[in-house]
Amino acid sequence: MKRAMIPGEISVYLGHRKIWRRFLDEGQEFALIMEDDFYIPDDSLFLQAIEDAVSVSSHWDIVKLFDFRPKNPIQRWRVNRTDFVMYKYPPAGGVAYLIRVAAAERLLQQRFIYRPIDEDWSHPWENNLRILSVASSPVSEIATALGGSLLETERRNMKADDRNWLRARYGNILSFQKNIRSVLWNRKTANSLLPSCYKTSRSGPTF
């Protein structure tokens, strides 16, 4: 990443890793993981999304139930009453997600942490992760209503203190590499996530 991680981002990531270890210790097939600022506007839609995701669980590693400012998807599938989508990059936000045991095992094999957890997930090829999102997220994030995000305050302070043209150029190089890798990864995985019988549309960039 073009900047160092702030202490809060490291703490959040380590918290998720601790939960993944407990998940593996308990021997379950799936885990539903939620951060402390989640909100569920409609219980029925939330439970339906989980049920529909589990019904096709062999075709994904992580299903995100919350996305921060998602862009247009490049693939869309309809399973029962839930729309699952694939983005060029999985959007930011780790507020709520389903994870399979194999994905947790791979993520825990990482010896080093370089980025916040959701930024890591926008590089799914690094851990061979098939990541889907539920369209019209059934979970919301309410950090502002709870008093604001400490992470955002830390990030703003770091940006103000770290205006470096070399870092900016380095960030451009990383963005270019990420774009190329994402195109190659999506070519590899787009047609293997969910069966074609569920596919409803394709939009956005083509590969």
Domains of the chain: residue spans and CATH: 7-201 (3.90.550)
The helix/strand/coil state of 148 is coil
Assess whether pLDDT exceeds 70 at residue 206.
Answer: no
Which positions ≥6 away from 153 have C-beta within 8 Å? none
- Residue 166's pLDDT band, with cuts at 50, 70 and 90, is confident
- Residue 160's pLDDT band, with cuts at 50, 70 and 90, is low
**Dist CA 16 CA 90 (whole Å):** 17
Q: Over range 70-93, report the average pLDDT.
A: 93
Say which range, 11-20, 36-45, 107-116, 145-154, has the weakest mean pLDDT.
145-154
What pLDDT, on the 0 to 100 scale, is given for residue 6?
87
**Percent of the chain scored above 90 by pLDDT?**
59
The helix/strand/coil state of 95 is coil
Q: How far apart are the first and last CA of the chain?
A: 26
Q: Over range 94-111, report the average pLDDT.
A: 96
- Residue 195's pLDDT band, with cuts at 50, 70 and 90, is confident
- Residue 201's pLDDT band, with cuts at 50, 70 and 90, is low
- Residue 148's pLDDT band, with cuts at 50, 70 and 90, is low
User: Structure pTM?
Assistant: 0.85
Sign of the alpha-carbon torsion through 23, 28, 30, 32: negative
Q: Over range 156-180, report the average pLDDT.
A: 76
- Nearest alpha carbon to residue 142 among 38, 66, 35, 36: 38
Assess whether pLDDT exceeds 90 at residue 106.
Answer: yes
What pLDDT, on the 0 to 100 scale, is given for residue 26?
95
What pLDDT, on the 0 to 100 scale, is given for residue 143?
79
What pLDDT, on the 0 to 100 scale, is given for residue 127?
93
